[in-house]
Structure formats: C-alpha cells, structure tokens
C-alpha cells in the first residue's frame, strides 16, 4: 500500500483463467498481502470461497490478518441462465458473470452487500515503524 492510499487492482477473467486454481489463489494472496484490494471479473463458487478462506487462514500472522471478500453476480435472469447453459453444454466452460472483491482484512471493511450492490470502505492505516 502506498503512503497516499490503497491500491485497487482489476483482474480480468482471461488473466485469472490462464492460471490453475492453486496458482490463482497464490496470485490473489500475494497481492492481498501487499494490501491491494482486488476486483476479479468473475463470481466465485462457494467451494472456491471456502478454499480461499482456508488457504488465507493458514498464512495468518502479525503482518497478515486474513482476507475479506464479497461478490456481485447477476445469474438470476433468464438470459443469464441461458448463457450459462450454452457455455456449460457447448463450450465446456463455466459462465460466471459477476465480480468478486478480495482484500486484506486490515484494509477492507464491508458496509453493505446485497444481490445487486456492494459497498465497502478501504481503510488507510498508519504503518508503525
């Protein structure tokens, strides 16, 4: 984190899907440990979220308090369900429209998370010497 604020980084689904899931977790945790807040161009499954929590908890220490995350997805419309079906059946890949926001627990504070809105506060803390 720079002295002037919090870094917010947007990762495309192409970047995320170029890695296997373990490498994706490593990439995310590395950036979050540097106090970045990541906006991922995909919604995560409950299993992936559990794995992120489990992996981050194994690395908690005085410098890294863990992660906070929240998601925003839009799979409820008929069009989105149809797209998901086409991706699954014909392209053999997941269609996961939405975003996932991941950040260090020290800098992210969840304010509101609803079906189609997410609000959070990125806190800037003085670093102790």
Q: Which domains does the chain have, with CATH numbers?
A: 8-121 (3.30.950)
Work out the number of other CB atoms within 10 angstroms of the CB of residue 14: 8
- CA 91 from chain centre, in angstroms, equals 25
Q: 21 φ, ψ to 5°?
A: -60, -40
For 95-126, the pLDDT digits (tens) are 556 788 888 888 877 666 666 666 677 776 65
Per-residue pLDDT tens digits for 22-81: 998 999 999 999 888 999 888 888 888 899 999 999 999 988 998 988 877 655 556 556
Contacts of 106 (CB under 8 A, 6+ apart): 35, 65, 123, 125
């Amino acid at each position: 984190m720079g002295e002037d604020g919090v870094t917010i980084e947007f990762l495309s689904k192409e970047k995320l899907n170029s890695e296997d899931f373990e490498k994706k977790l490593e990439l995310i945790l590395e950036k979050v440990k540097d106090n970045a807040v990541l906006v991922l161009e995909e919604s995560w499954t409950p299993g992936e979220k559990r794995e992120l929590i489990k992996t981050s908890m194994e690395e908690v220490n005085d410098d890294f308090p863990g992660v906070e995350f929240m998601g925003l997805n839009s799979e409820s419309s008929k069009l989105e369900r149809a797209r998901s079906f086409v991706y699954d059946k014909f392209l053999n890949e997941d269609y996961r429209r939405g975003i996932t926001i991941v950040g260090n627990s020290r800098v992210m504070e969840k304010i509101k998370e609803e079906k189609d809105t997410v609000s959070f506060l990125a806190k800037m803390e003085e670093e102790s010497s």
